[in-house]
Amino acid sequence: MCQPSSVGASMTPISSNIAKFEDLSPPSDLFFPNGTTQQPVPSYRGSRLFRDIGFVCQPFLIGEALANSGNNVYFYNQNQSISESILHTRAYCGCGVVHTSELAYVFGNFSHYFMHGFNLQPTLSDVALRWEESRSWTSFVAVGHPSKGEYGQSAPDHGVFTIGGTGHSGSGGSEKARKVLDSQKPRERCGFLYSPEVPKQLLY
């Protein structure tokens, strides 16, 4: 059985680390362009914490280990989704690009959404990205690297390629797309969450 008292006295107090986590997720980062939030700030912070632990930081750790062993590693950040219009019809607003959003583009197929009667409204940008993203993934399977731009570790924004939305952020990509990722501070957040003491305090 885990004993919270086993956390060393020399470690940063839990309250201080909570404050540090809140500093990495200030309310100003969670505002929509019109200056309002569509969900309470604690809800956004909690969902971002869940996302970081489950979907962001672990790929960084695994990818870095693979790269250190001589493998080519490609990180990507999906920044476009056809799911938002579906979620809005069900009163789920402000969810952004949710988990599995990339699948419709990767497989180049929107038809299954229509089959189930969802209110899908793909844009011309969605249609274009469907072809580009599916081509990149098939290229990766066939020859070992994506076909679209520079996804790899030499990309300017921490080696992460931003797909869709504001345009790609790899080599030759847009500064606006790089800022999308930089604003979320992935390296800082993961460095904090995987510092030696935080997992112990989370009893993880």
Task: Note the pLDDT of residue 3.
Answer: 36
Please state, for a pLDDT cut of 90, what percent of the chain lies above it: 0
User: Which class for 173: exposed (0-12), middle (13-18), buried (19 or more C-beta within 10 A)?
Assistant: buried
Mean pLDDT comparison of 32-41, 146-155, 172-181, highest-scoring range: 172-181
Across the chain, mean pLDDT equals: 75
The pLDDT tens digits of the residues spanning 118-167 come to 777 788 888 888 888 888 888 888 888 776 554 444 444 446 777 877 65
Task: Note the pLDDT of residue 139.
Answer: 86
Task: Note the pLDDT of residue 174.
Answer: 65
Extract the tokens encoding 51.
């996302």
Span 9-28, mean pLDDT? 76
3-class SS at 82?
coil
The pLDDT tens digits of the residues spanning 190-202 come to 888 888 888 888 7
Other CB atoms within a 10 A radius of the CB of residue 190 amount to: 19
By the 8 A CB rule, do 161 and 168 touch? yes
The Cα–Cα gap between 102 and 75 comes to 14
- Classify 123 in phi/psi space as left (phi over 0), alpha (psi -120 to 50) or beta: beta
User: pLDDT tier at 173 (50, 70, 90 boundaries)?
Assistant: low
